[in-house]
Chain A
Amino acid sequence: MKKILTNFNEANNQHIYNMRHKQKVVDHKTALNKEYDAVIVGSGISGSIVAKELSQKGYSVLILEAGPGKDLTISGYEKYINQFYSAVSKDNNAPYKRNPNAPMPRSVDVKKLEPGKPNTDSYLVQNGPFISDFTYSRVVGGTTMHFESKTPRMLPEDFNILTRYGHGLDWPMEYEDLMPYYRKAEFEMGVSGDVSSQTFSNEKAYEDDYVFPMLEMPPSYLDQCVAKDLDGTEINVAGETKTLKIRTFPQGRNGIPNNDYKKFNNGELFKPVGAVSEHQAEEGERCQGNNNCTPICPVQAKYDARKTLAKALENGGVDILPQTVASRVVIDPVTQKVSAIVYKSYEDINSEKHTTGTITANLFILAANAVENARLMLASGLNGSSDLMGRNLMDHPYILTWALLPEVAGTTRGTICTSGISDIRNGDFRKEQAAFAVDIHNDGWGWATGSPNTNLEDIVDNKNKFGKELRNELVHQISKQLLLANMVEMMPEPSNRITVDPKYVDRLGNPRPIVTMHLPEYTMKGIAFARQMSRQIFQRLGAEDYSTYSTEDYGYVEYKGEGYAIRGGNHLAGTHVMGTDPSNSVVDANQKSWDHSNLYLVGAGSMPTIGSSNTTLTMAALCFKSIDAMVNDLKELQASKQTSKQL
């Protein structure tokens, strides 16, 4: 059969090859009759990387996915896009139908906390005192389906920030240990960027001559308008002077392959990964500038985890069971190993009808994201011997600032963000206050104000304009918009946490996550500084500052006499923190549970700190790093099974 296949032309070959992943979406009967080496909970980037790597090494893998699994086809994906087009609210989870069997947080559901009682109306139960509108997606591909795909590495300094600056936690590894895996992650996600612009660490952060797989996304006209007047501005931060410069961000988005990458890719030019499809599809090549990376890239030029998942499924060793919600992790009381995962499986998102079943394997990997991993463990009564399960919950709080530039800057074009300010990501000031990165939002004020719809409504309903005047006013109000999204570092604190309570369950009876969160003083200092720095930037640019924060905003926080409306960053982390021993952590440096020797909890939940880097690239690198340990465990587990069979 193999021989015949090689005679086919490439298109046909591709067609048959791609058809395979359809057959890998299995039913429960098939799955229960097979013996899997590893069971993975979640098909996001962490789960997909682990599945692909283990299957390439010859292991059989089953993925349990809570969401529906029909989106591995172009037509399935297009349903998401149409759902997005037709949705009044175009929030991060707008492309997906509401699914009460595996609910997900949506920003439109968030409301201000009433004193004395938690918000319980939507999936996340929020205790406060800080109310966050963070979201994640419970669909095939996980939250990478709506992430923006910005892919900065963490800085070498971030890995021992406690020793260095007296805040947060040190990692049980150095940056150097992760460097080769960052390269693997950048290959997997297809990173476009310019290494020479990533110069804000004082230590060596890249191998000599290293370049990203693809050239940087060209800076937008808006970036250029800002840069020409802003570059060179000096900012005083806690006694340190920083000179601002607009630089591009690396991002997991298809651009132009970099010729110089060949020497890091066995002499080959990087080949961008196109759209996920069962049939040959001429989609998903270079970014076309849809300005819609979040919530959904219509042409699949943006990396999402389905690209890795499709490769995993094509390997032949991976099956996926969609609409199957992991419900409980079962521990053998004698060995303390995981013996099974109990799941609840539903037929239809519109019905609560479901069946319960049990899946066994040698190795178990939870890759359901920082909130859902902790939720599942806590729902199974597994708080961890350190009692750190669910604690140290982190996210990047965002403070948005917005202004109108004195000139038409062509806002609303390009990827969501091409450039920003990274000069406040590192320095001795971190002894005093949080670091932050600043995005220039090419999509304008939308995140802060609901623009451009709100501009149109204002111009028509309040300013009483129509015809020519309306058109001119639209240009004036929208094409000059500048929104700075200040993404501020948040340190781990055990009191910021996910818990569960049998009082709060979803439709299938699975406990919902309860969020208790406050913003530490260190972070608030950073937020206040970022707001002040934006004022200086707008002053330098001659831009009109329109930033206002309502006391009625659910994310409203006061600090030193000033109010701020804080937004969630969806960079959830820390809930199964890694460390050097079972007393200070849930997992080791390979993301392996200290308490249960055949269990791994992978993803950003393992990260002790998140610096000012979007978390996805680092969690991808961590997953690549964990593979060797998983393989060793699988070998040992198989050997001990053999021995016990012989006995």
Chain B
Amino acid sequence: METYQENLNVFLDLSVVLTDFSSYELQGTGQLEAYYSTIIDVIGESNMVEVLDAFTLAKTNANGNETELEKQIRIQLLSNDKLGPITRNIIKMWFIGNWYQLPNIWRETYGAYEKDETFVVSAIAYTEGLLWPTIGSHPPGAKAPGYATWIDAPQISKV
């Protein structure tokens, strides 16, 4: 249980870096555990742990320097043929609520997992996608802003 919570915390830290949303905002979606367990459910715990370990290494190497951390994320995760596609899936899951089937070359090399197909994690995952607040909007069909709000310029937070 302790390991689970520790790993979840690392996953949250990683998600903050990948999405540029604060841990407060990410936890506010209620999807942290859902996404974490989706990854484990689809491709197994060892792959998840590998991603988290690579992130921990990236952080250690960056030693608190933000620019260096971005570089390390590219070195340890995004350009890694095994961990890159999983990392990109984590980003996309946060923004749109979908798990995307991993690329064919990944599946050929690291295994075609039975549950690895493109799907919406859940109805709530769709409505909690971070893409919508990013563009000052809301998911189509949910969280409507109210009559005539659409006549004004969108409120987009500068990042």
Contacts and interface: CB of A to CB of B under 8 A. Distances in A.
Interface of A: 81-82, 84-88, 90, 218-221, 224, 255, 286-292, 296, 298-299, 408, 410-415, 418, 442-443, 452-453, 456-457, 460-461, 464, 466-468, 470-472, 474-475, 478-479
A392 B140 CA distance: 36
Given A81-B141, A287-B147, A443-B140, A474 B153 contact: no
Contacts of A219: 151
Given A412-B135, A467-B20, A472-B159, A460 B88 contact: yes
* 4 tightest Cβ-Cβ pairs between the two chains A and B: A414-B150, A288-B144, A292-B141, A410-B154
Contacts of A413: 136-138, 145, 149-150, 154
B137 A412 contact: yes
B73 interface: yes
A299 B144 contact: yes
A255 B159 contact: no
B122 A479 contact: no
B123 interface: yes
A444 B153 CA distance: 15
Interface stretch (B1-9, B42-50, B90-98): B90-98
Nearest to B88: A460
Given A82-B123, A460-B88, A220 B73 contact: no
14 contacts: A85-B126, A85-B127, A87-B120, A88-B120, A218-B150, A288-B147, A410-B154, A411-B135, A413-B145, A442-B150, A467-B19, A474-B131, A475-B134, A479-B135
Contacts, number: 145
A84 B134 CA distance: 22
B148 A218 contact: yes
Contact of B120 (A85, A289, A474): A85
Contacts of B147: 255, 286-289
A475 B151 contact: no
B159 A468 contact: yes
Given A290-B141, A466-B18, 4 more contacts: A220-B150, A412-B137, A475-B135, A475-B156
Nearest to A465: B91
A442 B70 CA distance: 35
Nearest to A478: B135
Contact of B91 (A290, A466, A472): A466
Contact of A291 (B122, B126, B131, B140): B140
A410 B154 CA distance: 5
A12 B120 CA distance: 40
A410 B120 contact: no
A410 B145 contact: no
A452 B131 contact: yes
A224 B122 CA distance: 36
A87 B97 CA distance: 11
B10 interface: no
Contacts of A408: 153-154, 156
